[in-house]
């Protein structure tokens, strides 16, 4: 059966990636290097497929396990049906192995991945997958077809596409606590230099402890370039083999790509964290990585040492 879908999707011009899936463990066994630009061949061991989301085919992902409202998708579906009864038949909808849903759509615009609705705890619930991210699809084990097919996707007009996006955004439950009018963090004189000195002198044991508590795991089968000096990591629990972080062991640096994880201090939620630990490290690492996302575990691990060193120094100023 998978050969039929693989051939059909190739004929439709989709970027199809065959996968070997461990049914017992419910996880992929191995992947080829997807970014090498070479055509993907289907072998007997393959029993699952992924689609690289590129225009004009995109996907709305409903991650229902991340929300307390287990009827959220059905509420979304009913809202779309009531607002535009003809729209559903233009889509391809499938149920995922985690009781979520993939809503495939055809829209002739180059788009990027976009988080549309988060839970009250900040976990991503609805997202638009577009511009390259990989998405598992039927007949991957655990997936089933709800309605439509990839072949029968009908091109959406701007009003129809916007209706899907805006209805999805309506189900956002996350309410940020930060003040959007605040543009910067104030630091006492000498604080950046102090933080840099602490960072440079961090011990190997503390560095490894921070890394082990960062919710990151090594990314297997990552395709490195000869000049790469980092080790590729991804987030725990992520089904994607896309890189989430670059870990530089020699210089004890971590670059984390994470605009959607609200439990990582970032520019928007920085005021939820104590200045004495997270803000200082956030500011310093921003200078280095230009992304500057430091996991909140850093606060717990470094707070005591930071306060001790700070109060024993001659730097004057207030943390608040």
Q: Single out the residue of 136, 203, 185 nearest to residue 292, CA to CA.
A: 185
Helix residue ranges per DSSP H, the chain:
2-11, 72-83, 158-170, 191-200, 204-212, 280-289, 297-311
pLDDT tens string for the chain (320 positions)?
888 998 899 899 998 988 888 888 878 886 555 545 566 788 888 888 999 999 999 999 999 999 999 999 999 999 999 999 999 999 999 999 989 999 999 999 999 999 999 999 888 999 999 998 989 999 999 999 999 999 999 999 999 999 999 999 999 998 877 665 665 556 667 777 777 776 667 788 878 887 887 778 888 888 888 889 999 988 777 777 778 888 888 888 888 775 545 555 555 555 555 443 343 344 334 433 333 333 333 433 343 344 434 343 433 332 33
> How confident is the model at residue 303, as a pLDDT?
38
Task: State how far the Cα of 270 lies from the Cα of 275, in Å rounded to an integer.
Answer: 9
All domains of the chain in start order, with CATH: 2-170 (3.30.2250), 191-311 (no CATH)
- The pair of structure tokens assigned to 307 is 């306060």
Task: State how far the Cα of 41 lies from the Cα of 36, in Å rounded to an integer.
Answer: 13
Rounded to a whole number of angstroms, the CA Rg of the chain reads 23
Task: State how far the Cα of 104 lies from the Cα of 153, in Å rounded to an integer.
Answer: 8
> How confident is the model at residue 51, as a pLDDT?
92
Task: State how far the Cα of 216 lies from the Cα of 222, in Å rounded to an integer.
Answer: 15
> How confident is the model at residue 121, as a pLDDT?
87
The distance in angstroms from the start CA to the end CA of the chain is 62
Q: Single out the residue of 224, 223, 220, 248 nearest to residue 234, CA to CA.
A: 220
The three-state (H, E, C) secondary structure of 225-269, written as one string: CCCCCCEEEEECCCCCCCCCEEEECCCCEEEECCCCCCCCCCCCC
- The pair of structure tokens assigned to 70 is 């287990």
Read off the pTM.
0.60
Name residue 256's beta-bridge partners.
Answer: 245
Match 């495939």 to its residue by tokens: 104
| Contacts (Cβ under 8 Å, ≥6 apart) of 22 | 28, 29
Sheet holding 114-118, edge to edge: 114-118, 124-129, 57-62, 101-106, 92-95, 144-147
> How confident is the model at residue 187, as a pLDDT?
63
Number of CB atoms found within 10 A of residue 98's CB: 14
> How confident is the model at residue 268, as a pLDDT?
55
Task: State how far the Cα of 5 lies from the Cα of 11, in Å rounded to an integer.
Answer: 10
- The pair of structure tokens assigned to 147 is 């309605």
């Amino acid at each position: 059966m998978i050969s039929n879908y693989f051939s059909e999707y190739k004929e439709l011009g989709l970027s199809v990636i065959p996968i070997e899936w461990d049914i017992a463990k419910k996880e992929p066994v191995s992947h080829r290097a997807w970014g090498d630009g070479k055509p993907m061949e289907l072998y007997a061991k393959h029993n699952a497929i992924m689609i690289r989301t590129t225009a004009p085919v995109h996907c709305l992902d409903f991650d229902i396990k991340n929300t307390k409202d287990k009827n959220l998708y059905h509420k979304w579906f009913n809202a779309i049906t009531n607002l535009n009864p003809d729209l559903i038949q233009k889509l391809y909808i499938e149920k995922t192995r985690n009781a979520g849903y993939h809503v495939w759509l055809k829209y002739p615009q180059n788009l990027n991945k976009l988080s549309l609705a988060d839970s009250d705890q900040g976990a991503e619930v609805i997202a638009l997958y577009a511009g390259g991210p990989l998405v598992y699809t039927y007949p991957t084990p655990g997936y089933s077809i709800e309605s439509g097919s990839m072949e029968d996707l009908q091109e959406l007009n701007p009003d129809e596409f916007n209706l899907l996006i805006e209805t999805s955004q309506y189900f956002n439950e996350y309410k940020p606590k930060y003040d959007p009018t605040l543009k910067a963090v104030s630091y006492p004189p000498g604080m950046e230099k102090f933080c840099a000195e602490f960072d440079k002198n961090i011990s190997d044991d503390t560095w490894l402890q921070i890394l082990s508590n960062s919710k990151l795991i090594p990314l297997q089968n990552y395709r490195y370039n000869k000049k790469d000096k980092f080790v590729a990591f991804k987030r725990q629990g992520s089904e994607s083999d896309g890189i989430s972080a670059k870990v530089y062991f020699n210089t004890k640096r971590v670059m984390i790509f994470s605009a959607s994880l609200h439990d990582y201090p970032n520019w928007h939620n920085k005021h939820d964290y104590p200045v004495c630990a997270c803000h200082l490290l956030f500011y310093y690492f921003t200078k280095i990585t230009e992304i500057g996302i430091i996991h909140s575990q850093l606060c717990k691990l470094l707070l005591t040492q930071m306060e001790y060193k700070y109060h024993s120094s001659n730097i004057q100023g207030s943390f608040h």
